[in-house]
Amino acid sequence: MMEDKKELEQITNCAMCANMCKYSCPTYLATGKETITPQKIARLILYKEKAFLEDQQGFFDVMFQSAMCGACKIHCIYDNYDLRKFIQRGRSKAFKEGMLPDETRKRVETFASFGNPHGERQLLQKGTGDLGYFVSCSAYNDQDLLKAMDRIISVGKKQIYQFGGADICCGAPLYYAGDTEGFEKAARKMKGEIENRKLRKVIADCPTCIKMMTEVYHEVGVDLDVEFVHTTEFLNSLLEEGKIKVKRRNATATFHDPCILANDLGVTAAPREILSALGFEIKEPVYSQEDTHCCGGLCGARIGDCGVADKVSTMRINELKETAADVYLSACPTCKAVLSDIDMKDIAELVSEQIIDE
């Protein structure tokens, strides 16, 4: 699993570290399991490299108990180090050995049949222009979000080519399952979908999709000559440019920072600027912005162990509830679905609700 001496040094440093980053790790905080702290995972990877481990199934189980959220990277004392790279290799090994968690395996099988992790669905395609809006798999069935974006696009008088559905997917479910070959095929297909539409810029509602297309595709030799922006950045630009007018509301709001949006894409200011423009007083949860906690995700997705995923989700819901805000918001369709117990909305829905028709 180690490609050179530098990587061996990196994982050894992590394995021998004081493990203070565990206090930012949502899976550890939600479960209390020392085995799945970043340092302990690094030790298992190191022991596996040295052939000290006999329990192969136990090793692979731990690889799929990480949230892959990047909290340990944000709070790491070492520069240019990301434990997720090594965990991902462990997952790839598990995939090759046929030792996936049940729910993760089911998602891979569904993808093989339908080209997406959710099953049969229609192609979504409308609009014109070289500015695209990619409707992610997680957003495809979210009618409230799709209607909100339709209204925003219409009022903003933007020519936007909307596309998604059918077998159009960034491939993230395959990546997190460790299916490197399948992921590369999905990446090449996605590149073709974008290039065939002659898009110069793509708006995406899912932070993970943007991470895949701007960062991870390159790792499998797929590069896109396209600019990607998250919906919060797009919405914020419309407000700043005066393309849409909104009513101000006297209320409080709590924004849940999606882990990939904050930790990998570095987008934390745009959603708060949107809320300020809408008149909201922002009530921050204890863990927010670069200190955010993962929502837990869908069972079998980034976390393959459904029990761990559920505990992370419950912990995050309880953290958000503590603010007692009037409105709870996020900017990731998966976060919205997973945190639905607190009537979570996508921030695009709020913008749409407060647009002033002219």
pLDDT digit string (tens) for 143-193?
999 999 999 999 998 899 999 999 999 999 999 999 999 999 999 999 999
| pLDDT at position 3 over 80 | no
For Cα atoms 191, 296, 322, give the angle at the middle one, nearest 5 degrees: 130
Model pLDDT, residue 53? 85
Model pLDDT, residue 315? 98
- How many percent of the chain have pLDDT more than 90? 95
Model pLDDT, residue 1? 62
Ramachandran quadrant class, 209 (left: phi over 0; alpha: psi -120 to 50; beta: rest): alpha
Higher confidence at residue 294 or residue 55?
Answer: 294
| pLDDT at position 69 over 80 | yes
- Strand duo 161-165 + 123-126: pairing: antiparallel
Model pLDDT, residue 105? 97
Tens of pLDDT, residue by residue over 193-229, are: 999 999 999 999 999 999 999 999 999 999 999 999 9
Model pLDDT, residue 228? 98
Would you say 280 and 249 are in contact if contact means Cβ atoms under 8 Å apart? yes
Ramachandran quadrant class, 98 (left: phi over 0; alpha: psi -120 to 50; beta: rest): left
pTM of the model: 0.96
Tens of pLDDT, residue by residue over 332-341, are: 999 999 999 9
Tens of pLDDT, residue by residue over 28-52, are: 999 999 999 999 999 999 999 988 8
Mean pLDDT of 293-304: 96
Considering the four listed CATH numbers 3.40.50, 1.10.10, 2.60.40, 1.25.40, the one that applies to the domain covering 245-353 is 3.40.50
Local structure of 33: helix, strand or coil: coil
Tell me phi and psi for residue 217, to 5 degrees: -55, -40
- Token pair for residue 216? 């991870």
Classify domain 123-233 by CATH number.
Answer: 3.40.50.1860
| pLDDT at position 358 over 90 | no
Asked if the domains 123-233 and 245-353 are classified in one and the same CATH topology, the answer is: yes
Domain boundaries along the sequence of the chain: 5-99, 123-233, 245-353
Q: Burial letters for 322-333: b for 16+ Cβ neighbours within 10 Å, e otherwise?
A: ebebebbbbbbb
N-terminal to C-terminal alpha carbon distance within the chain: 59
Tens of pLDDT, residue by residue over 95-142, are: 999 999 999 999 999 999 999 999 999 999 999 999 999 999 999 999
| pLDDT at position 309 over 90 | yes
Local structure of 252: helix, strand or coil: strand
- Strand duo 201-204 + 123-126: pairing: unpaired
Residues 6+ apart with CB under 8 A from 263: 69, 70, 71, 73, 74, 290, 292
Q: Which of 152, 153, 121, 125 is nearest to 137 (CA)?
A: 121
Helices 83-97 and 38-49 pack at an angle, to 10 degrees, of 50
Tell me phi and psi for residue 252, to 5 degrees: -110, 150
Would you say 318 and 341 are in contact if contact means Cβ atoms under 8 Å apart? no
